[in-house]
Structure 1
Amino acid sequence: MPAGLSDGLPPEAGFEAAIVERLMAAFAAWGYERVKPPLIEFEDSLLSGPGEAMAADTFRLMDPVSQRMMGLRADITPQVGRIAASRLTNAPRPIRLSYAGQVLRVKGEQMRPERQIGQAGVELIGTTAAAADAEVILLGAEALNAVGVKELVVDLNVPTLAPALLWEAGIGDARNLIAALDRKDMTAVRQAAGELTPLLEALIHAVGPADTAIEALDALPLQGSAAKQRERLREVVMLIRAARPDLTLTIDPTDHRGFEYHTGVTFSLLAPAVRGDFGRGGRYVNQAGEPATGFTLYLDTLQRALPAPAAPNRVFVPNGTPATQAQKLRGEGWVTIQGLEAVKDDAVEAWRLGCTRLWRDGELAELK
């Protein structure tokens, strides 16, 4: 198989499907309605708005029908934004949409080498309210708890805070400095920041549990847009605390990687001792210029973190057993494996096919 691609085999493929089913049920319970974007669409729509950030990760090919370039989606969020901005433009706002599906990327990442990734997520479109930021974070936490994730950590970020601070200080091209802040590279920051060095060093150190991080941010002399973003972060934390005081909240105000198209409060969903994040999300603007927020969950991380489901109780139903009896067993919750031809020893055959029970002489017999 090509690097980063693999077959989904039993029982892992069924496990992933079960996770998706439970996540979608959690999303629906909060009023999020499911949409199903296509795997591939024209490049100019796929890579517009927030999709522009995924251009380097997108496979491209020529459509033999229209002779136009097409892209194979590397992320579903931009597609949902397009649907809201076009097909659902007249739907009342805010609109709540959910999705699940596969994406394909040109190359993997260090923490996620897979190139084909299962995603499930939600988008809340058409409102700037802080309550919307809090809602998607709370929903993400509740959905992960519902599938069995314990010790969840919500890491809150404001990737636009540092750029706003640098812009207000008159620093035009701040890409290298923002990258240094993201890496927490004090040496690079000192070399490039000049008079802003003490402020940026303090911003780097405003990392950790939400309460202490907010206190550290409050001590910074922020103005204008940077001050407003700090205030929004504080408001979102208060709303989350009021609804879920049990949630572990941390803050990293300089985290920028993976949030290139976001415009406000963002977050990552993590757990101790789990490689990679369960998902990430935050505030952005869709193709029609509407404010939106949402998150994407990664099914590969979930499968690694959650215990494998118990094998189902399988009953071997020998060849010649009335069909009505097998139907009755399935109705009672058993998984039936039908014998397709007569065999010398039904018990041996049942064991060979991974069954735990055998239907024999009108009753269930346990295999030992």
Structure 2
Amino acid sequence: MLEPNDKALLPEGLHDTLANDAEYEAETVNRLLSSFTAQGYARVEPPLVEFEESLLSGPGAAQSRHMFRVMDPASQHMMGVRTDITGQVARIARTRLKNAPRPLRLSYAGQVLRVKGTMLRPERQFVQTGVELIGSDSFQAYVEVILLAHEALSAVGVEGLSLDLSLPLLVPAICQGLSIEENTASIVREALNARDVGQLETIDGKIGDIARSLLSAAGRADKALEILEGLDLPARARRMCDELAQVVTILADVAPGLHVTVDPGEYQGFEFQTGIGFTFFAKGVRGELGRGGRYEVNAEVAEGEAATGFSLYLDSLMRALPEAPEPETIYVPFGTDLSELPALRAEGYRTVQGLEPAGDAVAEARRLGCRHLWQNGAVKALV
């Protein structure tokens, strides 16, 4: 039981966001959503809590261990608090918007909650926003979604952006094409994901040579593509690498300032992806700003359709932005004609009204944190 003085304590990974930071974050979310809307992505808003089975279907299956669960007193069914919004948007697409024209472009923003954080993301509750492009398996869908994320992040002021591309199913495709037995295939995949050089050195044969080449390919996109092009790969794996090359080539043309890297063996965090996965980072910022890629909506009932999307995480994203600007707040002394205030607000000032007479209006304005004072019908800046 908490003592009276401990009642302000919050559980680990949860925090209060205070002014002006809360307002700055809300403005950032609105600017991101405006970028999405400008490119035809219609906003949807799923609920914070759903039946557990619904949240854990499709893309949500990988989130089971992260989910808070509660019993619904009305239905007596287990419910879950969402840990990710992607699966909810996929549900909307396959049910409420099943008959809507494809490709379907949807955007979203909302709070998510997870059982525990990670070293890079200790926060357990944060805002997630993003888009889903549903109903197209074109490589151009990758380009549209990646460029949209790049444009939106740049528009809110993120600098030093980098993009890391991965092929989560490349190693399984290679192992399957070479008829590698399951245990060896698992070892290869785990070692590449962990960049375990020692483990890869113990693997013999063609798959060992390919695996070591894939590890050396991790890094700059141009170097990675050169190494991948020189590998003798099974047909399915070769198609994956060719698609990756197409995407990288287009990005280099239309977004030359975007630093692009490739890690062909990474799959952790992309467990439900069926094609290229990607992650956005910013120089000097802890944790990824967002991630996305290709997946399949409704895959669990063999009626799936391709989808490509990304999610941005506001906890990391806000660390990549300049500090929240100080608001232009103006103190309006008690007794001021209230009809004068709308004009001030129209000019961008935030008016703080005195509720009782103050002997020193300047001192009162400063005490309340105002940067300006309304005095004798004019704005006075306070140094």
User: Which TM-score bucket, shorter chain as reference?
Assistant: over 0.9
Q: Which amino acid aligns with 1:51?
A: G
Distance in 2 (alpha carbons) for counterparts of 1:92 and 1:202: 43
Give the whole-Å Cα distance in 2 for the aligned partners of 1:85 and 1:165.
32
Which one of 160, 164, 170 corresponds to residue 161 of structure 1? 170
Alignment partner, residue 284 of structure 2? 273
Residue 377 of structure 2: aligned partner: 362
1:57 paired with 2:57, answer no
Please tell me whether residue 338 in structure 1 is matched to residue 353 in structure 2: yes
Matches within 5 A, 1:293-332: 293-332=308-347
Using the TM superposition, give the Cα deviation of residue 276 of structure 1 relative to its aligned residue in structure 2, in angstroms: 1.0
The SS at the match of 1:55 is helix
Q: Which residue of 2 aligns with 1:146?
A: 155
Contact 1:34 1:97 (C-alpha < 8 Å) held by counterparts = yes
Worse-matched range after superposition: 271-280 or 122-131: 271-280
Q: Would you say the 8 A contact 2:50–2:81 is kept in 1? A: yes
| Equivalent-residue separation in structure 1 for 2:331 and 2:171 (angstroms) | 63
The structural deviation recorded for 1:133 is 0.7
The equivalent residue for 1:247 is 258
Amino acid at match of 2:177: E
1:172 alignment partner AA: E
Check whether the contact 2:159–2:320 (CA below 8 A) recurs between aligned residues. no
Partner residue in 1 for 2:267: 256
Q: Confirm or deny that 1:73 pairs with 2:58.
A: no
Name the TM-score, length of structure 1 as normaliser. Answer: 0.97
Question: 2:178, 2:234 within 8 Å by CA — same for their partners in 1?
Answer: no
Shift of 1:361: 1.6
SS in 2 for 1:201: helix
Runs of 4+ deviating beyond 6 Å? none
Distance, in Å, in 2 between the alignment partners of 1:272 and 1:8 is: 24
- RMSD of aligned alpha carbons: 1.3
Instruction: Kindly provide the CA deviation profile for residues 84-115 of structure 1, in whole angstroms up to 9, marking residues without a partner as x.
Output: 11010111000100011110011111211111
State whether residues 162 and 259 of structure 2, in contact with CA within 8 Å, keep that contact through their aligned partners in structure 1: yes
Given that residues 171 and 189 in structure 2 are in contact (C-alpha distance below 8 angstroms), is that contact kept between their aligned partners in structure 1? yes
Work out the CA distance in 2 between the residues paired with 1:193 and 1:30.
Answer: 49
What are the within-5 Å matches in structure 2 for residues 99-248 of structure 1?
A: 99-170=108-179, 171-173=181-183, 174-191=185-202, 195-248=206-259
CA shift, 1:167, in A, is 2.1
Q: Report the Cα distance in structure 2 between the residues aligned to 1:366 and 1:237, rounded to whole angstroms.
A: 51
| Cα deviation code 1:21-45 (max 9, x no counterpart) | 1101111111111010100101111
Q: What is residue 16 of structure 2 aligned with on the other side?
A: 7
Distance 1:85 1:14, change over 3 A: same
* TM superposition shift of 1:192: 5.0
**1:91 and 2:106 matched:** no
1:298-340 CA-to-partner distances (Å, cap 9, x unmatched) read 1111111111132011110111111111111111111100111
In terms of mean alpha carbon deviation, does 27-36 or 342-351 score higher? 342-351
- Judged with a 3 Å threshold, the aligned counterparts in structure 2 of structure 1 residues 249 and 43 are, in CA distance, closer, same or farther, namely same
The answer as to whether partners of 1:277 and 1:301 remain within 8 angstroms in 2 is yes
Range 326-335 or range 136-145, more displaced = 326-335
Give the stretch that moved more between structures: 335-344 or 132-141. Answer: 335-344
Distance 1:100 1:175 in 2: 36
| Residue 33 of structure 2 corresponds to residue 41 of structure 1 | no
Query: TM-score normalised to the size of structure 2?
Result: 0.93
| Count of residues in correspondence between the two structures | 368
SS of the residue 1:312 aligns to: coil
How far apart, CA to CA, are the structure 2 residues paired with 1:225 and 1:39?
39
Pick closer, same or farther for the CA change 1:139–1:246 going to 2, 3 Å: same
Residues 21 and 324 in structure 2, CA contact (< 8 A), matched pair in contact too? no
Question: In structure 1, what is the Cα distance between the partners aligned to 2:351 and 2:284?
Answer: 38
| Structure 2 letter corresponding to 1:178 | R
Secondary structure at the residue paired with 1:110?
A: coil
Which residue identity is paired with 2:182? G
Contact 1:148 1:306 in 2 (8 A): yes
> Does the aligned pair in 2 maintain the 1:330–1:336 contact within 8 Å?
yes
Q: Which letter does structure 2 place at the counterpart of 1:259?
A: F
SS in 1 for 2:110: strand
Please say if residues 59 and 105 of structure 1, whose CA atoms lie closer than 8 Å, have aligned partners that are also in contact: yes
The equivalent of 2:368 in structure 1 is 353
SS at match of 1:135: helix
Please state how far the C-alpha of 1:267 moved relative to its aligned partner.
Answer: 0.6
- Looking at structure 2, the residues matched to 88 and 5 of structure 1 have their Cα atoms a distance apart, in angstroms, of 34
In structure 1, list runs of 5 or more residues that go unmatched: none
Residues in 2 aligned to 1:38 and 1:175: alpha-carbon distance in whole angstroms: 37
